[in-house]
Copies of this chain bind each other. A is one copy, B any other.
Amino acid sequence: MAKKDTPKSRKAARKPSDKDKARKWKTKAKKLAAELATLRSATETPKTKVKLVSPLAPKGGFPDLLRIPGVEFASAAAGVRYKGRTDVMLARLAPGTVIAGTFTRSATRSAAVLDCQAKLGRSEGADAGAAILVNSGNSNAFTGARGWASVNAICAAVARKLGIPETRVFTSSTGVIGEPMAHERIIDALDGLISELDADGIAGAAQAIMTTDTFPKGAMAEATIGGQTAHIVGIAKGSGMIAPDMATMLVYLFTDVKISQKHLQTMVSRQTNTSFNCITVDSDTSTSDTLLMAATGQGPAITDLRSSGAKAFEKALSDVMLNLAHQVVRDGEGATKFVEISVTGAADDADAKRCALSIANSPLVKTALAGSDPNWGRIVAAVGKSGAAADRDSLAIRFGQIPVAANGMVDPDYREEDGAAHFKGDEIQIGVDLGVGSGKATVWTCDLTHRYIDINADYRS
């Protein structure tokens, strides 16, 4: 009887040969091996940290930033900690440059921050030019007296090699905390850096200051002052306020306007308040956060902060700072949603900001965002705990343009599916009106995802 004619009943009854068994188990083992491989690749902890680019990164990559007359950049691989990448950037600023800055208010801030703060107010040697030197890989924070020794050694070397006073050398360090920094590696790299100073070197500088950032961050804007065009460019690093072993938000801005240090500081402080001080990834503050702005004085002049030129310039500055601040949020650790939270109707602007940050930092709200869950009850709770004056029975909430709650209860026309549709997107707007005054504030944050836990609990860089 031909095999193909074997009746099923007889085939079933036939005892399988060893060959049949081998084939059966082989097929089964191959299938299981494939399933196991798939599941493993989906779940396995990578042995090395994979550098994924944030899904919220701006399209188009790093922008072509304008040259600012009087500013040159260089970057180098000094081997402070990382291998195979640049980790030091130097910016040389022409004589006549004024510098303003804002810094972390952390009580445990690093020696580099304290040194910058001490130097900002000093006027001696201001005409001699200046330099900014930044390294990644080691934050030189919580390193006791050795921290100061490193800062002083770097400043002295830069000053000597560039022929400027030590008081005009500003440094920042970002990376691992608590380990003495091999500052001699930075000093050894100085001659190479100086020989490569280049007015077009800003993109390399933005790369060199990255730590856990998944993309370099740059922005620019122009303003018309008395018929002349002023330019502002900026770079930033930051992947949330925090990262493995502590990261930092560092920002460097350059402009060609001619302006007094005092006026520049006023604008920088004011605009920091509504940009970098209005973003949060996880409420943790670094010990090294630094923003420095250099004005080389080779472009149009601002002498009166109330002039229309000054206002146009401050608006351009605001644009650059907000752009960079948003890029930091977009590179927040594990972020999949870019979230704008606007609070209106507060007793005053400070109360509005307090309330907005309470919502932005609430793990409840952030996990709801991660789950695309329009869970407005969690927003009510975050408003309640913020300490901002609020009237429970006139509180209103909206998602994008969708009214969600009003007069202290859910809007009768609100449909959960409308909220859910808005939360499915990767740009989410939450509006809250406290119903007690006219104070307002807007802050930006991202969601709290499994990847945040991966980065911060499962690895240590």
* Chain A interface (Cβ < 8 Å from any Cβ of B): 17-19, 21-22, 24-26, 28-29, 32-33, 35-36, 39-40, 42-43, 104-109, 141-144, 146, 176-178, 242, 245-246, 282-287, 361-364, 367-368, 370-371, 373, 375-378, 380-390, 392-393, 395, 405, 407-410, 448-450, 452-453, 456-460
Contacts and interface: CB of A to CB of B under 8 A. Distances in A.
Contacts of A460: 371, 373, 375
Contact of A108 (B107, B395, B456): B395
Contacts of A371: 456-460
Contacts of A105: 385
Contacts of A25: 22, 24-26, 28-29
Contacts of A21: 18-19, 22, 26
A246 B381 contact: yes
A19 B17 CA distance: 9
Nearest to A146: B409
Given A106-B385, A377-B245, A392 B18 contact: no
B107 A284 contact: no
Number of copies: 2
Nearest first, the 4 A-B pairs at minimum CB distance are: A108-B384, A25-B25, A106-B384, A144-B409
Given A409-B143, A456-B368, A457-B449, A245 B375 contact: yes
A408 B144 CA distance: 5
Contacts of A395: 108, 142
Given A39-B40, A178-B409, A367-B457, A380 B450 contact: no
Contacts of A285: 381, 384-385
A13 B176 CA distance: 57
A371 B42 CA distance: 20
Contacts of A177: 377, 380-381
Nearest to A39: B39
Nearest to A110: B392
A166 B450 CA distance: 48
Contacts of A381: 106, 108, 177, 242, 246, 284-287
